[in-house]
Structure 1
Amino acid sequence: MTAIRPVCTDADYEGWREVLVAIHPQERCPSVAELRDVEAPKRLLLIAKLDGKVVGTGLSDRSVLADRALVMVRVLPDARRQGIGSELLHALSHHAVAQGYEIATAGLDDEGSLAFAQRLGFVETRREVEQVRRVVAESWPESARLYDIVSVAERPELWAKAYEQVALPTFSDMDVPVWPAVSGEEWAELWINDPEAMFMAVVCDEVIGVAGLLVDADRPERAEVAYTGVRQEWRRRGVASNLKRTSMAWAADRGITEIYSWTQQGNENVRALNERLGFTYGAISIKVQATLPLHLPCAWPR
């Protein structure tokens, strides 16, 4: 028998994480502490249990794309085709509507999932590509003449400035339907998880560029490339390349053997930069959206 309920306890959070790690072993999954840190009234996490075992998860939250809800459903392969995914999606859709959202977005991993989503009213909006690079013996870049590269750990007071001076002016470079809506608090909490692994290019007390890594506690040998951005007037001077090479040298010194990045297919500049730095292509993520409410043939709770 299937039972679906909200995540409440640390054990629930661990079960939620275990499903994501099992389905996406190649990607970083937030820790229980990180998930707890972003708890909010409008955010809903669900677990689906089949015969007492967690076999599926759901998430409904505000998308970084303005005025849209993010919904995410994941079901273990052995528990699929039993209506669990549809039931989770029904609950998430109901919650998103209750929060006032009219559009839901989601990310999918394969054509089969896309076909399932299309039957429920979702349409494809764009695709993101994974770029992967092995980390070997990496050289630290030479010091630049016009700017310094420092970690956020060295200059923590500048991370808020990085939001104002780099993030906000460069979000429009992303190949997305609408620009991301990221608050300063979210920038501080969600876009960095280790101040030593995030780097800034600085001129005096002005931040001109950022790049770094999001470390993975479950798989410490891998790390995800964090947000990379350089102010318009400082582009084509090697700033982004030096920042990324700094992060790769940092990774090599700490035993990280592989880094990966998710980039919009239309963001040719970042993809080209990664190619020059030795990244190769991996998986594809399909982004979809649908008008709410979804019309699904199941009800929740039961």
Structure 2
Amino acid sequence: MEITTCATDADYEDWRRVRIAVIPYERTQSLAELRAGDTPDRLLLLAREGDTVLGHGLAQRADSANAGGVIPRVLAEHRRRGVGTALLHRLADHVASLGLPVVRASVDDEPSRLFAERFGFEEVNREVEQTYVVDAAPDVTPAPAGVEVVTAQDHPGLWEGCFEGFGREALAGFSVDTPLDVSLERWTRDWLGDPMFLALHDGEVVGCAGLGLDADDPTRAENSLTAVRGDWRERGLAVHLKQRAIAWAAGHGVAEIYTWTQDGNAAMRSLNTRLGYATTRTGIQVARALPLD
């Protein structure tokens, strides 16, 4: 077995194929999106045996403060041969090289959870996947008086410009064990939906909701960040924005939308349920201190 870093477009496409095979129920970033995310802090790995791809890995700074995220994945037919262990050690070493004291990962099935526990990972958060079947455009409730809704794509710079105020408040509201520490660069690159609907009042962003489209399955999409500024909550703005996203999906051939919501975010889970989302899966986030034994 040989573990190498992704360098060529062919490497990136092999990396994508592993992700699609292991978690077919989630969108996988396109080649262009993966390339756009290239930074010195991020490591993408491929495990091969000759010309056969066995698995892949990802390590980078996590959105959680003072932590790195790792994702080792092995194709089903090549498991229980030490491939995942070898990948995990390489990824954890990379996180340690960034000077980060904690490594985090996500598991959403029993074998993955048991694998993580073998290496001392412990549960720190839970989240649920909720799924909406798009069969028709919903009736969109009116936006609150004084609010204009635009898309970030039609107003370049607006998403970046709202980071220090609206963005930081939205990120601080996540129900997680460790506060999020997201840079402007990652906010701009990783947190922007396409489309992303922005609610404006007096020229300031007070709410957002959008979609992440699936390049490999145009009938599916993931909800991007849905958030409303504190002084605009309980006025129906989140409902309006989310319905705008669903209506857009209905008009563009999207048949299913899914979203992940933290276990402690009862308000958003309740809103999704009221809109017609069904709970379909549970994800567990785990963490442990470095170095990896």
Q: Same fold (TM over 0.5)?
A: yes
Is the contact between residue 161 and residue 207 of structure 1 (CA under 8 Å) also seen in structure 2?
no
Q: What CA deviation, in whole Å up to 9, does each residue of 1:100-135 have, x standing for no partner?
A: 111100011212211111111111111111000001
Task: Tell me what 2:78 maps to.
Answer: 79
Distance (Å, rounded) in 2 between the aligned partners of 1:140 and 1:157: 30
Task: Tell me what 1:155 maps to.
Answer: 155
- SS of aligned partner of 1:254: coil
Is the contact between residue 208 and residue 227 of structure 2 (CA under 8 Å) also seen in structure 1?
yes
Residue 188 (str. 1) matches residue 188 (str. 2): yes
Q: Which runs of 4+ in 1 moved over 6 A?
A: none
Offset at 1:78?
A: 0.6
Q: What CA deviation, in whole Å up to 9, does each residue of 1:130-177 have, x standing for no partner?
A: 000001211352543221111112323321233233221122221111
Is the contact between residue 131 and residue 260 of structure 1 (CA under 8 Å) also seen in structure 2?
yes
Is the contact between residue 19 and residue 28 of structure 2 (CA under 8 Å) also seen in structure 1?
yes
User: Counterparts of 1:117-266 in structure 2 under 5 Å?
Assistant: 117-139=116-138, 141-144=140-143, 145-194=145-194, 197-266=195-264
* Worse overlay, 135-144 or 31-40: 135-144
Residue 54 (str. 1) matches residue 53 (str. 2): yes
Distance (Å, rounded) in 1 between the aligned partners of 2:120 and 2:31: 32
Any gaps of 5 or more consecutive residues in structure 2? none
- SS of aligned partner of 2:157: helix
Task: Tell me what 1:286 maps to.
Answer: 284
Q: What CA deviation, in whole Å up to 9, does each residue of 1:72-125 have, x standing for no partner?
A: 111011100000000001111111112211110001121221111111111111
Task: Tell me what 1:103 maps to.
Answer: 102
Is the contact between residue 66 and residue 180 of structure 1 (CA under 8 Å) also seen in structure 2?
yes
Offset at 1:286?
A: 1.1
- SS of aligned partner of 1:81: coil
- SS of aligned partner of 2:207: strand
Distance (Å, rounded) in 1 between the aligned partners of 2:248 and 2:77: 40
RMSD of aligned C-alpha atoms? 1.2
Structure 1 counterpart of 2:271, one-letter code: L
Is the contact between residue 43 and residue 61 of structure 1 (CA under 8 Å) also seen in structure 2?
yes
Distance (Å, rounded) in 1 between the aligned partners of 2:18 and 2:3: 14
Q: What CA deviation, in whole Å up to 9, does each residue of 1:244-301 have, x standing for no partner?
A: 0000000000010000000111111110110110000111111000111111xxxxxx
Task: Tell me what 2:3 maps to.
Answer: 4
Distance (Å, rounded) in 2 between the aligned partners of 1:60 and 1:154: 33
* Worse overlay, 165-174 or 69-78: 165-174
Is the contact between residue 123 and residue 289 of structure 1 (CA under 8 Å) also seen in structure 2?
yes
TM-score by length of 1: 0.94
Distance (Å, rounded) in 2 between the aligned partners of 1:154 and 1:51: 47
- SS of aligned partner of 2:170: helix
User: Counterparts of 1:15-26 in structure 2 under 5 Å?
Assistant: 15-26=14-25
User: Counterparts of 1:261-280 in structure 2 under 5 Å?
Assistant: 261-280=259-278
Distance (Å, rounded) in 2 between the aligned partners of 1:283 and 1:141: 27
Task: Tell me what 2:31 maps to.
Answer: 32
Structure 2 counterpart of 1:186, one-letter code: R
Distance (Å, rounded) in 1 between the aligned partners of 2:41 and 2:141: 46
Structure 1 counterpart of 2:260, one-letter code: W
Any gaps of 5 or more consecutive residues in structure 1? 296-302
- SS of aligned partner of 2:153: coil
Is the contact between residue 158 and residue 205 of structure 1 (CA under 8 Å) also seen in structure 2?
no
Distance (Å, rounded) in 2 between the aligned partners of 1:153 and 1:249: 17
